[in-house]
């Protein structure tokens, strides 16, 4: 996330990221709320940039006192499961002749899981892959799979950062997500 | 005889995906249902105590090594036994045929949806399942309980809710039906056993 502000401009106390950067001139309470704002901003970016969709909100709706870490648990499960599937697909792509049915089956599973956690970009790349699979286009599959892997890796990093920050600030008020 | 509104209903959820099992379990628990999850149709049948050579016996019979289930919700695409296969096996069993079955799928294939509804499924949900979808389950489970208590009673004659008056406009399963099928063909959605639908509140 690129942050840019000019020191020539008056510092607006309302600018969330400025507050974060100037935390050592503010009392601790400001620091904590600055982190919260950073978290909210991070989350907003994930949605605005299309990494996550409304299904992720559904996961949050399901989190409560009886299941306080539900979202992180599901996401952790997803990356464990999806990493295994990605490895399987990688292996299957090496084989000759190509078993497109098997590939499609793996990708169907991967797409399903991605969809279940709201991983929008990943889901879209999985759809592209399956289209190449249906046409038995090996080159297309290989190219598409690189994109799937990239989206997988990027999302993993972003969500790791998100949950790390979440731990620091404590649970974010559900009302802070956009669209509420 | 009135049904206790706080009555606990037990749902058996079948899905080969670990993530989806975790999700459906949470969804169902949040909706105040008791849940058991299994990862295959054959495990589901085992749990339900399916023995094709036996006649109907009381669900509370202590001899039967089975659990009481008010509804089965199953994924369609599963290795080995599909959700459709499971549906057919249950409908073909005298002891299990009255348990309502709901099928879920990540794929919107109208012919598949029709086949499941015609095969006796009460509903067909598109994944990812929403909390609002699960509210639709209650009437099927209530109907089951009523049937249990009044075995000689006539079928309930509540009106079928036509798909056009279904105001679940945000539901993607509605879109699924609209996209692929003509209005006449959407009627099978509430075919045969699923016509009895008590009123329920839609959440916004």
Say whether B22 and A77 touch across the interface (CB within 8 A). Answer: yes
What are the two backbone dihedrals, phi and then psi, of residue A20, each rounded to the nearest 5 degrees? -65, -45
Between positions 104 and 133 of B, the ones with CB within 8 A of A are 106, 127-128, 130-131
* Mean pLDDT along residues B8-31: 96
* Best of B128, B134, B171 to mutate (most A CBs within 10 Å, chain A): B128
Q: Where is pLDDT greater, at A37 or A16?
A: A37
Looking at residue A9, its pLDDT comes to 54
Distance between CA atoms of residues B31 and B13, nearest Å: 14
Q: What is the mean pLDDT of chain B?
A: 76
Looking at residue B81, its pLDDT comes to 96
Query: Which sequence spans correspond to the domains of chain A?
Result: 58-165
* Mean pLDDT along residues B128-141: 92
Please give the interface size between A and B, counted as residue pairs whose CB atoms are below 8 Å apart.
49
* pLDDT at position B144 over 60: yes
pLDDT in tens, B70-117: 999 999 999 999 999 999 999 999 999 999 999 999 999 999 999 999
Contacts A118 to B, Cβ<8 Å: 128
Of B19, B30, B127, the CB nearest to A77: B19
Is B21 part of the contact surface with chain A (CB cutoff 8 Å)? Answer: no
* Mean pLDDT along residues A46-58: 97
Of B22, B127, B131, the CB nearest to A74: B22
pLDDT in tens, A115-163: 999 999 999 999 999 999 999 999 999 999 999 999 999 999 999 999 9
Looking at residue B142, its pLDDT comes to 87
Output the CA torsion sign for B164, B169, B174, B180.
positive
* Mean pLDDT along residues B128-135: 94
CB atoms within 10 A of CB A28: 8
Is A73 part of the contact surface with chain B (CB cutoff 8 Å)? Answer: yes
Q: Percent of chain B, pLDDT > 90?
A: 54
Closest CA of chain B from A168, distance in Å: 26
A66: left (phi over 0), alpha (psi -120 to 50) or beta: alpha
Say whether A77 and B26 touch across the interface (CB within 8 A). Answer: no
Distance between CA atoms of residues A114 and B128, nearest Å: 10
* pLDDT at position B159 over 60: no
Q: Where is pLDDT greater, at B202 or A109?
A: A109
Say whether A108 and B18 touch across the interface (CB within 8 A). Answer: no
Residues whose CB falls within 8 Å of the CB of residue B41, separated by 6 or more in sequence, listed in order:
B14, B74, B78, B80, B81, B82, B83, B85, B86, B89
For A58-165, which CATH superfamily applies? HPT domain (1.20.120.160)
Looking at residue B65, its pLDDT comes to 53
Lowest mean pLDDT among A15-19, A21-25, B131-135, B161-165: B161-165
Chain B residue with the nearest C-alpha to that of A79: B19
Residues A132, A65: contact at Cβ < 8 Å?
A: no
Of A58, A67, A73, the CB nearest to B128: A58
Looking at residue A25, its pLDDT comes to 56
* pLDDT at position A8 over 70: no
Say whether A111 and B26 touch across the interface (CB within 8 A). Answer: no
Chain A residue with the nearest C-alpha to that of B106: A112
Q: Any alpha helices (H) in B35-95, and if so which ranges? A: 41-48, 83-91
* pLDDT at position B169 over 80: no
Distance between first and last Cα of chain A: 24
The pLDDT confidence band at residue A18, using thresholds 50, 70 and 90, is low
Contacts B131 to A, Cβ<8 Å: 58, 61-62
Is B94 part of the contact surface with chain A (CB cutoff 8 Å)? Answer: no
Looking at residue A64, its pLDDT comes to 93
Looking at residue B27, its pLDDT comes to 97
* pLDDT at position B186 over 50: no
Say whether B30 and A112 touch across the interface (CB within 8 A). Answer: no
The pLDDT confidence band at residue A26, using thresholds 50, 70 and 90, is low
Closest CA of chain B from A143, distance in Å: 24
Distance between CA atoms of residues A70 and A64, nearest Å: 8
Of A108, A112, A118, the CB nearest to B20: A112
Is B135 part of the contact surface with chain A (CB cutoff 8 Å)? Answer: no
pTM, 2 dp: 0.74
Q: Which residue has the tokens 């949950």?
A: A163
Structure tokens at A160: 């790791």
Q: Percent of chain B, pLDDT > 70?
A: 61
- Whole-angstrom CA distances from A157 to A89, A122, A166 are 21, 13, 14
Looking at residue A10, its pLDDT comes to 55
Closest CA of chain B from A78, distance in Å: 6
The pLDDT confidence band at residue A19, using thresholds 50, 70 and 90, is low
Say whether A116 and B130 touch across the interface (CB within 8 A). Answer: no
Is A131 part of the contact surface with chain B (CB cutoff 8 Å)? Answer: no
In 3D space, the residue among B204, B189, B23 whose CA is nearest the CA of residue B118 turns out to be B189
Is B19 part of the contact surface with chain A (CB cutoff 8 Å)? Answer: yes
């Amino acid at each position: 996330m690129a942050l840019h502000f000019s020191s020539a401009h008056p510092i607006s106390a309302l600018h969330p990221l400025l507050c974060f950067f100037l935390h050592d001139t503010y009392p601790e309470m400001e620091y904590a709320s600055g982190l919260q704002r950073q978290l909210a901003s991070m989350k907003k970016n994930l949605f605005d940039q299309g990494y996550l969709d409304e299904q992720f909100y559904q996961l949050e709706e399901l989190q409560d006192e009886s299941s306080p870490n539900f979202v992180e648990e599901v996401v952790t499960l997803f990356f464990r499961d999806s990493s295994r599937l990605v490895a399987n697909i990688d292996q299957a792509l090496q084989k000759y002749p190509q078993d497109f049915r098997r590939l499609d089956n793996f990708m169907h599973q991967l797409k399903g899981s991605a969809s279940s956690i709201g991983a929008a970009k990943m889901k879209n790349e999985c759809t592209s892959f399956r289209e190449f699979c249906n046409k038995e286009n090996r080159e297309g599959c290989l190219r598409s799979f690189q994109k799937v892997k990239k989206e997988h890796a990027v999302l993993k990093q972003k969500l790791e950062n998100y949950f790390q920050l979440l731990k620091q600030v404590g649970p974010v008020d559900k009302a802070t997500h956009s669209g509420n | 005889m009135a049904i206790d509104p706080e009555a606990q209903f037990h749902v058996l959820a079948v899905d080969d995906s670990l993530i989806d099992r975790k999700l459906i379990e949470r969804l169902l628990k949040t909706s105040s249902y008791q849940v058991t999850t299994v990862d295959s149709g054959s495990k589901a049948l085992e749990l339900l105590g399916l023995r094709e050579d036996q006649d109907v016996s009381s669900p509370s019979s202590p001899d039967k090594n089975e659990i009481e289930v008010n509804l089965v919700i199953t994924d369609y695409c599963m290795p080995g036994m599909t959700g459709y296969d499971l549906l057919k096996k249950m409908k073909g069993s005298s002891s299990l045929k009255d348990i309502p079955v709901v099928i879920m799928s990540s794929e919107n294939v109208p012919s598949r949806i029709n086949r499941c509804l015609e095969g006796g499924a009460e509903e067909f949900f598109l994944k990812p399942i929403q909390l609002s979808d699960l509210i639709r389950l209650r009437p099927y489970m209530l109907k089951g309980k009523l049937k249990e208590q009044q075995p000689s009673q006539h079928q309930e004659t509540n009106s079928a809710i036509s798909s056009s008056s279904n105001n679940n406009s945000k539901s993607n399963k509605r879109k699924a039906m609209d996209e692929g099928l003509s209005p006449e063909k959407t009627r099978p959605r509430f075919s045969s056993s699923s016509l009895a639908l008590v009123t329920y509140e839609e959440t916004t």
